[in-house]
Structure 1
Amino acid sequence: MPALPATTASETSTAVVDLVSTGAASASVSPSAGLLSMSIGSIPLSDSLAWIAIGAFVVAIVLQWRDAATPARYLAAGAWVVFGGFWLTMFPHYYFEVKSPLQSLLTLAALPLCAYTGYLLARGRESLLLLTKAVACMGLIYLPVETIPVVRTWLIETTAAQTHFGMELLGHSPGLTEGANGYVSKFDFDPNETVTGRTTYIITACTGIGSMAIFGGLIAAVKAPLKRKATAFAIAIGVIWFLNLVRNVFIGLASPWGWFQQDVFVYVATEFMGAPADRTSYIVAHNFIAQSLSIVALLGITYLVVRILPEVFDPLEEVLFILTGTEYDLADAFGADAAVRPDGGSESGSAPDPEPNDD
């Protein structure tokens, strides 16, 4: 949820456009403009790399399904490198525009981690194809929102309307108007009546679709009965939707009303992040409080999902192996007796009860 002065975008040089979804630079010149405006044909570079990687992941999974494991591994290995390149192209946006230290570090770390994943696949770690399948499913959920205008418009404006309703429940009714990204998603606070004179607007990242895609991809990728997968999906999406709504209301009110305009925060925002002083409350609420709590929330949602669908431990174990180089048995650590292991047996070594499988 970017912050901007409560004026039209054309009247300010600090307006931020949703570069993730449009792939274009904002009207004002920024250090990220050059890289993000590069394109392959008419498609922005970041979108092109994302679609190439996800498309290659899907083909690799099809090859594995047709018992061509070796070609699948090599294709997936190359796709992981491309996927890391996609995240690298997003670094200027998160560092210069969003000014998020956490997201900036994650985009930098993505390239070596993705390249290492590709290396492990090329060396024969076939189990990483399950993680590849999960990421492919995540991309198929997320990328249409980023690249199909009608879907993106509906999701952004619906989220904005729901957030506005949440504000009304707390006694604030600023109304909605067109934001700098062209959607009716800006909370139209009167700059003469608020503390900072700033307001916020909803972009794709504020809809929760990223977190929904993560859990949707993990759930879709594993083999398990449809009933348990549907239950885990419904719980994950429901909790994400609610927490994201609370997050948007919190940031949407903290920015104009200056909840965090204390001197110490202003000093950090202006001296270390180069932000305008009146943007401090937004930065503290969004970049530090909300993003930190988001990590806690994701861990909590993961716990709920694996209690219902312990098969999700399998791709998570692959992630831990990439990060640490150590094999983990998360099902054993969490006492999930029902966890289905990759060899088809249960954690206890006995054969699992036959169940219908939707995968």
Structure 2
Amino acid sequence: MNMSPASAAAETGSVAGLEAVGATLTPAVIGSMGLTDLLAWVAIAAFLAALVLRWQGVPEPARHLAMGAWLTFGVFWLTMVPYYYYDVQSPLQTVLALAALPLCAYTGYLLWDGRDSLFLLTKAVAFMGLIYLPAETIPVVRTWLIETTAVQTHYGMELLGHSPGINEGANGYQSRFDFDSDETVTGRTTYIILACTGLGSMAIFGGLVAAVKAPFKRKAIAFAMAIGVIWFLNLVRNVFIGLASPWGWFQQDWLVSFMVTYMGAEESRVSFLVAHNYIAQSLSIVALVGITYLLVKILPEILEPLEDVLFVLTGNEYDLFEALGKDEVRADGGPEQQ
């Protein structure tokens, strides 16, 4: 079993894990942390400390600490590159992890240079960590999330005429779909890990919703909508990958030849890699954009941190409120005052 410092989509024998879209932190105590885990915890703690300093009226130290937090966050993603490239074999995740360091460093520089609007984006990332890390580090919560997702995914398979049963996966949870390797096309099956629960995406939107100022009712509705849509799409994704891998939906000869020759893939993993790393991950980007659009309809205040994201990516200022006809909404959720 190949276990990475982030959430592992490990494989051994006929078992193939559903690899992570986002990194999963696994330390139980500080002493057990690897470098990757430690960097993530330090970054989130520094984000929160910077926000506290700014709230207490000491903007300069807050700005400098936030800059360091962003740089640490970028280094965290850089440490994930070998895992995404060699273990997960995901071009998309590898490129994104590589791009994270310069983007985070630039964000930190902009904060240091006086772009205080980025404190809202900093706040959103801090809340994302607060949502994600406790669920990852509390064993009973982690177990419940993984095993509940496995049961729901199995039910989805049953609706499509497949009932393999569930047994213990290589990660120690009751999350492995017990397909008979002698009866399937590839001889492989999959098991659910924390990343397969959709928690990472839920944390992203939860952080955005929590960070902005708006009436509680609209924030609650937006959060519930985002969580519900993510849960459903994630379930469809798990069923799709969980069936495509053992039954070899993408084991066509030309595709196997290409993946083995040019991508270094193991022949029996081709269907899994195509389903997960190419189809599911590409569609997940489309889904994130769609969810963001729906969220803006309910909670246009999230446009404010998104404007800063676009500035970091392009170097250009954008007025998304005006572009989407939401210019009457202020960041405090009330009508604009002249």
Q: After TM superposition, is the score higher than 0.5?
A: yes
Query: Corresponding residue for 2:304?
Result: 314
The offset of 1:42, in angstroms, is: 2.4
The alignment's C-alpha RMSD in Å is 2.3
AA partner of residue 298 (structure 1): L
Query: Which of 261, 281, 293 is the equivalent residue of 1:271?
Result: 261
Give yes or no for contact 1:91–1:108 (8 Å, CA) kept in 2.
yes
Measure, in 2, the Cα distance between the counterparts of 1:240 and 1:254: 21
The offset of 1:96, in angstroms, is: 0.9
Q: Deviations over 1:251-304 (max 9, x none)?
A: 000111111111222122211221111111111110010000000000000000
Query: Corresponding residue for 1:174?
Result: 164
SS at match of 1:191: coil
The offset of 1:63, in angstroms, is: 1.4
Give yes or no for contact 1:81–1:114 (8 Å, CA) kept in 2.
yes
The offset of 1:182, in angstroms, is: 1.4
Query: Corresponding residue for 2:72?
Result: 82
Query: Corresponding residue for 2:92?
Result: 102
AA partner of residue 130 (structure 2): L
Query: Corresponding residue for 1:217?
Result: 207
Query: Corresponding residue for 2:37?
Result: 47
Give yes or no for contact 1:4–1:16 (8 Å, CA) kept in 2.
no
Measure, in 2, the Cα distance between the counterparts of 1:189 and 1:91: 32
Query: Corresponding residue for 1:150?
Result: 140
Measure, in 1, the Cα distance between the counterparts of 2:118 and 2:213: 15
Query: Corresponding residue for 1:133?
Result: 123
Q: Does 1:227 align with 2:217?
A: yes
From the superposition, tell whether residues 327 and 341 of structure 1 become closer, same or farther in structure 2 (CA, over 3 Å). Answer: farther
Query: Corresponding residue for 2:246?
Result: 256
| Structure 1 stretches of 4+ moved >3 Å | 1-7, 14-24
SS at match of 1:292: helix
Q: Deviations over 1:10-35 (max 9, x none)?
A: xxxx88998954659xxxxxxxxxxx
Query: Corresponding residue for 2:3?
Result: none
SS at match of 1:177: strand
The offset of 1:147, in angstroms, is: 2.4
Task: Map 1:49-64; keep pairs closer than 5 Å.
Answer: 49-64=39-54
Measure, in 2, the Cα distance between the counterparts of 1:15 and 1:227: 39
SS at match of 1:220: helix
SS at match of 1:124: coil
Q: What TM-score do you get using the length of structure 1 for normalisation?
A: 0.86
Query: Which runs of no fewer than 5 residues in structure 1 stay unpaired?
Result: 25-38, 353-359
Measure, in 1, the Cα distance between the counterparts of 2:19 and 2:306: 34
AA partner of residue 203 (structure 1): I
Give yes or no for contact 2:26–2:137 (8 Å, CA) kept in 1.
no
From the superposition, tell whether residues 146 and 90 of structure 1 become closer, same or farther in structure 2 (CA, over 3 Å). Answer: farther
Query: Corresponding residue for 2:272?
Result: 282
Task: Give the number of equivalent residue pairs.
Answer: 329
Query: Corresponding residue for 1:330?
Result: 320
SS at match of 1:217: helix
The offset of 1:41, in angstroms, is: 3.6
Give yes or no for contact 1:152–1:204 (8 Å, CA) kept in 2.
yes
Query: Corresponding residue for 2:4?
Result: none
Measure, in 2, the Cα distance between the counterparts of 1:246 and 1:16: 13
Q: What TM-score do you get using the length of structure 2 for normalisation?
A: 0.91
Q: Does 1:114 align with 2:104?
A: yes
Measure, in 2, the Cα distance between the counterparts of 1:340 and 1:92: 43
From the superposition, tell whether residues 235 and 338 of structure 1 become closer, same or farther in structure 2 (CA, over 3 Å). Answer: farther
The offset of 1:345, in angstroms, is: 8.2
Measure, in 2, the Cα distance between the counterparts of 1:205 and 1:195: 26
AA partner of residue 300 (structure 1): G
Measure, in 1, the Cα distance between the counterparts of 2:67 and 2:58: 14
Give yes or no for contact 1:56–1:79 (8 Å, CA) kept in 2.
yes
Q: Does 1:72 align with 2:58?
A: no
Measure, in 2, the Cα distance between the counterparts of 1:53 and 1:72: 14
